[in-house]
Copies of this chain bind each other. A is one copy, B any other.
Amino acid sequence: MNPTGWGDAAAATALPDAARGLIEMVFGLDDRPATTSVELPAPGLAPELLDGLRDLLGAEHVRTDDETRRLRTRGKSTPDLLKARAGDLSDAPDAVVRPGTHDDVTALLAYAVEHHLAVVPFGGGTSVTGGLAARREGYAGLLSLDLIRMKRLLAVDHESMTATLEPGLRGPEAEALLAAEGLTLGHYPQSFEYASIGGFAATRSSGQSSAGYGRFDALVVGLTVATPQGELTLGSAPANAAGPDLRQLVLGSEGAFGVITSVTVRVRRLPAVKVYEGWRWPSFDDGAAAMRTLAQAGLLPTVIRLSDESETAINLARPDEIGGESAGGCMMITGYEGEQEAVDAKRAAVTAVLTGLGGDPLGEEPGRSWAHGRFNAPYLRDALLDVGVLVETLETATFWSNRDRLYADVKAALTASLGEGTIVLCHISHVYETGCSLYFTVAAKEGADPLAQWQVAKAAASDAMIGAGATITHHHAVGTDHKPWFAQEIGPVGVSILRAVKADLDPTGILNPGVMVP
């Protein structure tokens, strides 16, 4: 992906007319095109080191051309895009290296330790928390360890319903390989089209269908990790009592403890039926209470999300109609995937509960609209940045009894920071028996320094999250951006544990320096 925007430039979506009208009315239109033909810093790696890498992997798997380096620069947060749009590609790696196997990765790490090269594992490049912006000071160079060659389906166990995948597989590639076996992973984050299996694991990803299929960390039954200290292979059973669950220490480790070289996941049979539908609720509170009832009754659909009044008003859950007319209240999307009989039974049970609680069934049209546009939002952001609208998302999670406070506090913090006229939208994207996530979308008129403008607002929102006792992130990982708040969330003893593990596995600190570990 180009560092200035999301996805395939050919697939870029223009701002829908209604949205453009809304934006013009609220913020005015202010053309801010991205700077083109940005110069990359010259690759700073000594020739003998490049030769050594070429000896290790083959010359064709060590790239230093500008185009390859450009495409491996940073991730996809709005700050990342703003920097690139302003012509700053200073985080470009010195070289992009492409190991083909676990042993290649091991050899590469040994070489990196020997020559003190920083190594940033790269899967889909979709980090929105600075997970690819490693510290380079003090290193002999910075390598992007691109997993693009590691895209095999290594094993399928139809009896145990597990599959072993290589980390470089992107969402659609993994699903295609599994579909040929009649299987699915069912993991659909908004970044699905680009994000990778290794990234899902390294960041504890959660997807739009996680109510039904489970968060990615719940899907993983086994892992292989290459570390500077050797191989770590975990996954002797679905669950066990053999000490702490070290799988859960690798999940969320963001390349700072090692490079995940294979992931064994629980899979499901490809669903025969997929159906999504809409419900309208009088208020966010009413819809949230209904979600809680379903979760605590063990009656969750495969997909469930609820927009607040603001998000419903501008139709964010129906990307083709953003800015168009809305009938008010709060829009909920429910979805069911599986065998016809199971879908029918679950849908009937959920429908009975939601109807009984005062939900207004809207049929399948809103569900189809949501499903059609479910991966489009990042393209819309590009179009908004083009017209001078600062737009970004952030998310958190808490227990049900704290939801209302968290919602109010984050919203207030964002509005206070970004000023009158700021649009703050929210939806509940994931639910549990004990709580839920809150996903905010924020839009404001760009000031003179939109990067600084956003950083202040993000800090205020982050303070509000930690102040409310919630998490700094439900499904976007720590990266570099969340570290100060992550340190508060887990406290000094938690930080000390992570540093100890880091020092043990990566004593010279070559792995994604500055990422995740506070």
A500 to B471, CA, bound (A): 26
Contact B205 A266 (CB under 8 A): no
A interface list, Cβ under 8 A from B: 157, 159-162, 203-206, 215, 217, 221, 225, 227, 229-234, 236-254, 266, 268, 292, 296-298, 342, 345, 349, 396-402, 430, 432-437, 469-478, 482, 486, 489-494, 496-501, 503-505, 516
Contact B501 A160 (CB under 8 A): no
Contact B296 A399 (CB under 8 A): no
A381 to B501, CA, bound (A): 42
Closest 10 CB pairs of A and B: A500-B504, A248-B248, A238-B432, A237-B397, A160-B399, A240-B471, A204-B241, A232-B493, A159-B401, A236-B471
Which of A217, A242, A249 has the most chain B CB atoms closer than 10 A to its own CB? A242
A230: chain B residues at CB < 8 Å are 491-493
Contact A472 B231 (CB under 8 A): no
Contact A249 B297 (CB under 8 A): no
Could you list 7 A-B pairs, sorted by A, with CB under 8 Å?
A204-B240, A237-B398, A237-B435, A238-B433, A241-B252, A245-B248, A266-B433
A399 to B155, CA, bound (A): 14
Number of copies of this chain in the oligomer?
Answer: 2
Closest to A227 in B: B493
Known contacts A233-B491, A492-B230, A493-B232; is A516 also within 8 Å of B478 by CB?
no
Contact B494 A234 (CB under 8 A): yes
Contact B244 A434 (CB under 8 A): no
Contact B493 A236 (CB under 8 A): no
Known contacts A400-B159, A471-B236; is A252 also within 8 Å of B243 by CB?
yes
A349: chain B residues at CB < 8 Å are 345
**A249 CB contact (under 8 Å) in B249, B292, B399, B400:** B249
Contact A161 B498 (CB under 8 A): no
**A473 CB contact (under 8 Å) in B242, B297, B501:** B242
Contact A245 B229 (CB under 8 A): no
A231: chain B residues at CB < 8 Å are 491, 493
Q: A160-B402, A215-B239, A245-B249 are in contact. List 4 more A-B contacts (CB 8 A).
A: A204-B240, A237-B471, A243-B478, A248-B248
Known contacts A159-B400, A401-B160, A504-B500; is A245 also within 8 Å of B217 by CB?
yes
A254: chain B residues at CB < 8 Å are 243
A297 to B271, CA, bound (A): 12
**A474 CB contact (under 8 Å) in B233, B237, B400, B494:** B237
A90 to B215, CA, bound (A): 48
**A342 CB contact (under 8 Å) in B297, B397, B493:** B297
Contact A161 B497 (CB under 8 A): no
Name the distance in Å between A146's Cβ and chain B's nearest Cβ.
Answer: 23
Name the distance in Å between A478's Cβ and chain B's nearest Cβ.
Answer: 5
Contact A473 B241 (CB under 8 A): yes
A266: chain B residues at CB < 8 Å are 433-434
A482: chain B residues at CB < 8 Å are 242
Which of A203, A238, A241, A436 has the most chain B CB atoms closer than 10 A to its own CB? A241
Name the distance in Å between A433's Cβ and chain B's nearest Cβ.
Answer: 6
A516: chain B residues at CB < 8 Å are 243
Contact B217 A239 (CB under 8 A): yes
A296 to B442, CA, bound (A): 40
Contact A433 B161 (CB under 8 A): yes
A162: chain B residues at CB < 8 Å are 399, 434
Known contacts A233-B491, A493-B227, A504-B497; is A244 also within 8 Å of B240 by CB?
no
A492: chain B residues at CB < 8 Å are 230
Contact A243 B342 (CB under 8 A): no
Contact A490 B217 (CB under 8 A): no
A398: chain B residues at CB < 8 Å are 236-237
Contact A397 B238 (CB under 8 A): yes
Known contacts A160-B435, A435-B160, A500-B503; is A240 also within 8 Å of B397 by CB?
yes
Contact B251 A221 (CB under 8 A): no
Contact B491 A237 (CB under 8 A): no
A491: chain B residues at CB < 8 Å are 230-233
Closest to A474 in B: B240
A500 to B236, CA, bound (A): 22
Contact A246 B497 (CB under 8 A): yes
Name the distance in Å between A263's Cβ and chain B's nearest Cβ.
Answer: 14
Name the distance in Å between A446's Cβ and chain B's nearest Cβ.
Answer: 28
Closest to A349 in B: B345
Contact A475 B241 (CB under 8 A): yes
